[in-house]
Every structure is written in C-alpha cells, then in structure tokens.
C-alpha cells in the first residue's frame, strides 16, 4: 500500500513517516473500586517495568479500531466504552525509536474480564491509589485519562458499561465515587440523578446489599444516557 506516483512523492515524499501507537488506559471497575490494567514490559529497554497495554496502528485501521483491537486482545472484551485522550509526540519519549502514541482510555467490568489473559502475560490490576511508576510518559497518560473520564462522567451517565442491566442507585453512586475519587452524599446524589429523568425504576428489588432492599433502575431508553443533561458532578 505504498503510494509512489509523482504527485505523492512531491507532496508527501519529502516528509518522514512515524510509527504510531495506541496505548490504552484500561479502567476496570468492580465493587466500588477503580483499577488499572498494567503489563510488565516483556523486552528491553525498560524490561519488567510496568506499562500500559498498547500496539501499533496498522495500515487500514483507524486509531479507534486499533484501540478496539488492543482492548479485545488484552481483556477479551469488545463493545467497550472508550475515548481518545490525547496524542503524545515528544521525539524522544521512547528511547529505542520514535513512536507517536495516541492514548485512549476504556472502561471495563472487572468481573467480565478474562482471567487467563492476566496470567498469560503477567498483567495485573492495580488500584489507582497504589500503582507503580510506569515507563515513558505513561504516568501522564493515566493522569490525563482520569481527568477526561471525570469530565465525561460529569456530563453524561457512564454507568451502562460498568453496571449490570439493572442496578441500584447505591451501585451507581459507588461507581461515581470511584471515578471521582471522593465520597458523595447518598441523599444528594440520589436526588440529583433522579432529577435528570434518564433512569426508570423497575419493580424488582435488590436484597443483597441491604436488609430493606433497594429498587433496581435502568436507563429509560438505550442511548439516552448520552443526551445533554448539564453537569452531574462538579469537577
């Protein structure tokens, strides 16, 4: 798929081409905790140091598709909520070769994750609060990814990917507490969320988390969670 005609060599030929990678900040949610999937780097330089899973953008795929491919390979999951974070393009950000990296973040459910993939590569879920130092500029990628996740979660309900079909408001609150890394008042959160009018109460109740039992809710319609609803949580 090389383009070699005269026009192209005139317009593009004089310019260098670069490896373009996608690195994924994979947030795994389970039970009130947000964790981060890290891989020990399997080759020099920086062998053994922790890093984000990544891969190279191929010729006929978009960076979004590359991210989907990497997520599938590393977690076994597809249909994942995912957003581009930023491009990292310092010329010497990787020692061995120049690689321009596009950072993405993704949200997955820890309980749906394929355990075997963990062992195969020695990957580990780290809590955000006690994760190790990462190679290159991956620390910065994580920081920016979390900031973008918080921004996005502040404008739309991001629950559908991380919670079961039916969920209680407490479950949703714990998810938001994990994303925003702080406690949220149960009563105020409940009122705020319900006032948005995007949740529908089912007639079933959850009895596992409390004696009284809590109603299950679900989204009013598929997709409606992405409509304009103004700020949910102040950032």
Partner DNA sequence: ACAAAAGTGTTGTATTTACACCCATGA
Partner DNA sequence: TCATGGGTGTAAATACAACACTTTTGT
Residue numbers at the binding site for a second copy (CB under 8 A):
1, 3, 7-8, 11-12, 15-20, 43-44, 56-64, 84, 86-87, 89-91, 96-100, 102
Residues 165-224 that bind DNA (CB under 7 A): 168-170, 185-188, 190-192, 205, 207, 209-215
Pairwise CA distance, residues 205 & 218, whole Å: 12
- Check if the beta carbon of residue 100 is closer than 8 Å to that of residue 88: yes
Structure-token match 């891989």, residue found: 39
Q: Report, in Å, the least distance between residue 42 CB and DNA.
A: 42
Q: Kindly name the residue from 90, 120, 183, 209 that is annotated as catalytic.
A: 120
Look at phi and psi of residue 228 and say left if phi exceeds 0, alpha if psi is from -120 to 50, else beta: beta
In terms of CB distance, is 96 or 182 closer to a second copy? 96
- Bridge partner residues of 198 (DSSP): none
Structure-token match 């529908």, residue found: 200
Q: 53: closest CA among 118, 97, 148?
A: 118
In terms of CB distance, is 42 or 210 closer to a second copy? 42
Which of a second copy, DNA, none does residue 147 bind to, with CB < 5 to 8 Å depending on kind?
none
In terms of CB distance, is 212 or 231 closer to a second copy? 231
Write out the H or E segment, with its range, that includes residue 162: none
Q: Report, in Å, the least distance between residue 30 CB and a second copy.
A: 30
Q: 29: closest CA among 219, 167, 213?
A: 167
Which of a second copy, DNA, none does residue 185 bind to, with CB < 5 to 8 Å depending on kind?
DNA
Tell me how far apart the 2 most distant CA atoms of the chain are, in Å. Answer: 75
Asked if 62 is part of the footprint of DNA (rule: CB under 7 A), the reply reads: no
Pairwise CA distance, residues 42 & 202, whole Å: 48
**Residue 209 among the catalytic residues:** no
In terms of CB distance, is 95 or 201 closer to DNA? 201
Active site residues: 120
Q: What residues line the site for DNA (CB under 7 A)?
A: 168-170, 185-188, 190-192, 205, 207, 209-215, 231, 234
């Amino acid at each position: 798929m090389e383009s070699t005609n005269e026009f192209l060599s005139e317009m593009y030929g004089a310019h260098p081409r670069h490896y373009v990678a996608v690195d994924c900040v994979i947030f795994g949610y389970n039970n009130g905790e947000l964790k981060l999937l890290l891989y020990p780097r399997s080759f020099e330089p920086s062998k053994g140091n922790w890093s984000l899973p990544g891969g190279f953008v191929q010729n006929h795929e978009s960076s979004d598709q590359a991210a989907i491919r990497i997520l599938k390979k590393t977690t076994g999951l597809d249909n994942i909520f995912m957003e581009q974070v930023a491009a990292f393009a310092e010329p010497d950000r990787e020692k061995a070769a120049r690689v321009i990296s596009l950072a993405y973040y993704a949200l997955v459910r820890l309980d749906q994750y394929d355990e075997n993939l963990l062992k195969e590569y020695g990957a580990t879920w780290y809590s955000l609060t006690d994760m190790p130092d990462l190679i290159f500029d991956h620390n910065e990628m994580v920081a920016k990814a979390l900031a973008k996740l918080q921004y996005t979660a502040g404008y739309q309900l991001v629950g559908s990917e991380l919670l079961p079909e039916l969920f209680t408001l407490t479950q949703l609150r714990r998810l938001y507490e994990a994303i925003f890394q702080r406690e949220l008042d149960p009563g105020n959160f409940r009122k705020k969320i319900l006032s948005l009018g995007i949740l529908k109460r089912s007639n079933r109740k959850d009895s596992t988390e409390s004696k009284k039992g809590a109603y299950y809710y679900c989204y009013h319609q598929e997709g409606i969670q992405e409509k304009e609803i103004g700020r949910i949580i102040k950032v």
